[in-house]
Amino acid sequence: MEETHLTQLGREVRGFDSPDTAVLERVPNPHPDAAYLVRFAVPEFTSLCPVTGQPDFAHLVIEYVPAAWLVESKSLKLYLGAFRNHGAFHEDCTVAIGKRLVAELAPAWLRIGGYWYPRGGIPIDVFWQSGPAPQGLWLPDQGVASYRGRG
C-alpha cells in the first residue's frame, strides 16, 4: 500500500475558511477486495444561504463503497465544517460534497442524502450518487425520516 502523509490526524488544526481550501485526506483501504459500505451521518451540517446570509441546517448521510482509499474522518469533519461560513444553495452543497469525495477517493460507489431543514416553510431533500450501487451490496435505509413538521 502507498504510504500516506496525514497532516491533520493527531494534530491541532484550526479549520478552513471555505470548502475550496479544505484539505481532504485519505488512508489506504485495508480491505480493497471486499465490497462494504461506509456511512457518515452528519446531523448538524451548517451552511449559509447565498442570498440572505441566513444559516441553513441539514442532516447529511454520506455512504460509499471504498476502492483503494478511505477518507480520513477528521479531515472530513474539518471539510464539512468549512461550509459553516460558505454561501451556497442546498443542492450545490450536497452535490459538491459528493463530487469532491468521488474526486479524492475514487470509490467504487458513493451516495449522499441531504435532508435540509425548512426555510420559508419548504424543506428540501437533495440526493446524489455516483452511479448504480454495486450488485449484491447491502444498502440499508439512510434512517432519516422525511420532514413532517409538527404532526
Cell numbers for 125, please give them.
431533500
Q: Domains of the chain: which residue ranges? A: 26-118
Q: Identify whether 93 is a catalytic site residue.
A: no
> What residues of the chain score a pLDDT lower than 70?
1-4, 7-11, 13, 16, 149-151
Of residues 20, 56, 92, 141, which has the active-site annotation? 56
The reported pLDDT for the residue numbered 11 is: 63
- Distance, in Å, from the CA atom of 5 to the CA atom of 38, rounded to the nearest integer, reads 22
The pLDDT of residue 26 is: 95
Measure the CA–CA gap between 98 and 64, rounded to whole angstroms.
10
The pLDDT value given to residue 3: 45
In the prediction, which pLDDT does 122 show? 87
56 is catalytic: yes
So what's the pLDDT on residue 16?
Answer: 66
- The pLDDT score that the predictor gives to residue 69 is 97
> For the structural domain made of 26-118, what CATH number should be given?
3.30.1130.10
Strand partners, 65: 109
Catalytic residue, chosen from 20, 33, 49, 93, is 49
Q: Left if phi > 0, otherwise alpha if psi is -120 to 50, otherwise beta: which for 79? A: alpha
